[in-house]
Amino acid sequence: MELDRDLCSLQEARNLVRAARKAQEALMNFTQEQVDHIIDMMREAGEANAARLAMMAVSETGMGNYADKCFKNYFASRTVYDSIKSMKTVGIIREDREHKIWEIAEPVGVIAGIVPTTNPTSTVIYKAMIALKSRNAIVFSPHPSAVRCTNEAAKIMHQAAVAAGAPEGVIGCILNVSMGATTELMKHPSVAMILATGGSALVKAAYSSGKPALGVGPGNVPAFVERSADLPKAAEYIVMGKTFDNGTICASEQAIVAEECIADELIGHLKRNGAHFLDPEDVQKVSKVVMLAKGGVNPKVVGKDPKFIAQLAGISIPEQTKCLIAPLSGVGPQWPLSYEKLTTVLGFYRVADWHEGCERCFQLLEAGGVGHSLAIHSQNEEVIREFALKKPVNRILVNTPAAMGGVGATTGLSPSFTLGCGTWAGSSVSENVTPLHLLNIKRVAWHLGIPERKPVEPMNVAGAGATEGVQNSTLSTQVDANMVQEIINQVMQHLNGMKC
C-alpha cells in the first residue's frame, strides 16, 4: 500500500505540472492590465482569509502564534501587492532612447514552489503573487506537517486568480506529499525554475536538481548593540524581533552582542521587555532540549513559546516571560545555543568594544548564518559603515527588529519571504526575491556606429635580433606599442559611454 501511495504522489505531481504548463502557455499572452487585475483579486482573497489561514497554520503545525501568523498573511497579501503592483512585467518594460536599447520581459515558465512548515500559508500567498505577476504558473510542494493549511492557501489563491480571468491550473499544490513527489516536481522537464524556502538539505536538493533555483540559507543573525545605541529602544526591538511568531522567521535575532560598558544597562531594559536570563545550570538544560546532539535545532521546540521550552527543560521562569536569554562565552559545538534557533531563545555575549564585537559577529555568521543578515543598534555611522563594509551578509538592519526588517516590513527592503544569501551561502541571489527575479529579460540593441580608428603606420623590422629558425622576412611589420594602447583606450572609452 505504501508503494501505491508513492506512485499516486508521483502521478499527482506530474498531473499538476502538466496543468500548470498548459495554463502558463495561456497566461504568457495576457496583457499587463489583465495580470494586474488577477493579482489584485489574489491580494483581496489573501486579506479576506488571513485570519482563517493563520488559525489553520497554528493548529496544524503547532508553531508560532495566531496574531503574528495573521500579520504574516496580511503582509504577504497587502504589503507585497503594494510593492509590486506598479512593476512592469509584460512587453517592453524599459526603453533607453539614448543608448537605443529595449528591455522586454518574458516569463520563465512553470515554477516549483517549496514551502516551509514555519510559514506555510504566508509563503504560498507571497510566491503565488510574485509568480503570476511575472506571468508564471506555480506548483507548490508543502511540508509534510503543514499539508492542509498550505493546500488551503493555494486553493484560495487559485480560485481568486481564476475568477479574475487566469487559466485553470495556474496554481497547483501537491496533496499526497512525499519526498519522491517533491523530487519529481523539482526535476520535471516542464518545470523551469525552483523557488525554494525550507531547511538546508531541501535547498541544497533544489540547487542539485539541474534546474535554475532561487534558494535561501540559514540565518544565524547577530544583533550588535553599540555604546551609542538608544538602549531602551534596542531592547524593545530585539525582543520584538525574536518573539515575532515565536522566532520562526529566518531573519530573527539569534544572539545579542553587547559592548561591556552598556551591557548591564541593556540587560535591565531587556528584562523589562520580558526577557528572562538563564543561570549557567539552566543554560545547559535549555541547550539539551533546544539543540540536537548531532547539531541543528530540535523540531519539537521550533516556533514554541518560552513556557513550553521551560517545561521541556524542567526549569522555572516568570509567568510573563517572552523569551529566554542564555549568556555564552564562545561560539561552536561547546556552546550549542550559539547556532540558529528558530524559537524564543537568544544567546548573549559581552565584548570590550566594537572591534571585538565585529569579530564575535563574524564568528556567529560563520557558524551558520553567513550571507543572510546582521542587526546593529547604534547612532555611530562610522561603526555602522565598518560593519556594513566588512561583514559577509547581504542585509545590514539598522535600529530595527531584525525579523521584520529583513522581510521588508519595517525597512525599505522589498517585501519578501524569500531572502537571498548570495554566494557566501551558496545562493544564486543576494537580495529579497521579487517578480523581477522570475523573468527572462530580452534586450533589443540598435547599431550606434563604428568606433573611429586611427591609421596605423607599419614599421620595418631590422634583421638584428632575429632568432634561429625565424627569417627576417616573416617579421615584415610591427605595430608601435604606444599606438596599440591608444586604440585600446579609445575603444574602451566608447564602450564605457554605452553602458546603461
Its sign, for the CA torsion 281, 285, 286, 290, is positive
CB burial of residue 347 (10 Å; 0-12, 13-18, 19+)? buried
CATH for 221-411 (3.40.190.10, 3.40.309.10, 3.30.420.10, 1.20.58.760): 3.40.309.10
CA distances for 133 relative to 28, 49, 451, angstroms: 11, 20, 41
- Predicted confidence at residue 454, as pLDDT, reads 80
* Three-state secondary-structure class, residue 275: strand
How far apart CA 326 and CA 337 sit, in angstroms, is 8
Q: Which residues contact 417 (CB under 8 A, 6 or more apart)?
A: 72, 76, 119, 122, 123, 126, 127, 197, 407
List, run by run, the mean pLDDT of 10-residue segments along the chain (500 residues): 76 97 98 98 98 98 97 98 98 96 98 95 98 98 96 98 98 95 95 87 82 87 98 98 96 98 98 98 97 93 97 96 98 96 97 97 93 97 94 95 97 95 88 97 95 76 48 44 64 55
All CATH 3.40.605.10 domain ranges of the chain, comma separated, are 2-216+434-443
Catalytic residue check, 250? yes
Query: Per the residue annotation, which of 149, 173, 250, 361 is the catalytic one?
Result: 250
How far apart CA 255 and CA 249 sit, in angstroms, is 14
Q: Which residues contact 187 (CB under 8 A, 6 or more apart)?
A: 209, 210, 211
- Predicted confidence at residue 479, as pLDDT, reads 47
309: its cell numbers: 521550552
- Predicted confidence at residue 460, as pLDDT, reads 62
CA distances for 226 relative to 198, 231, 331, 357, angstroms: 32, 9, 20, 8
468: its cell numbers: 634561429
Q: Do residues 57 and 241 touch, judged by C-beta distance below 8 A?
A: no
- Predicted confidence at residue 496, as pLDDT, reads 61
Q: Do residues 45 and 159 touch, judged by C-beta distance below 8 A?
A: yes
Residue with cell 534558494: 215
pLDDT in tens, 240-292: 999 999 999 999 999 999 999 999 999 999 999 999 999 999 999 999 999 99
- Predicted confidence at residue 492, as pLDDT, reads 61
CATH for 2-216+434-443 (3.40.50.2300, 3.40.605.10, 3.90.1300.10, 3.40.390.10): 3.40.605.10
- Predicted confidence at residue 428, as pLDDT, reads 85
All CATH 3.40.309.10 domain ranges of the chain, comma separated, are 221-411
- Predicted confidence at residue 482, as pLDDT, reads 63
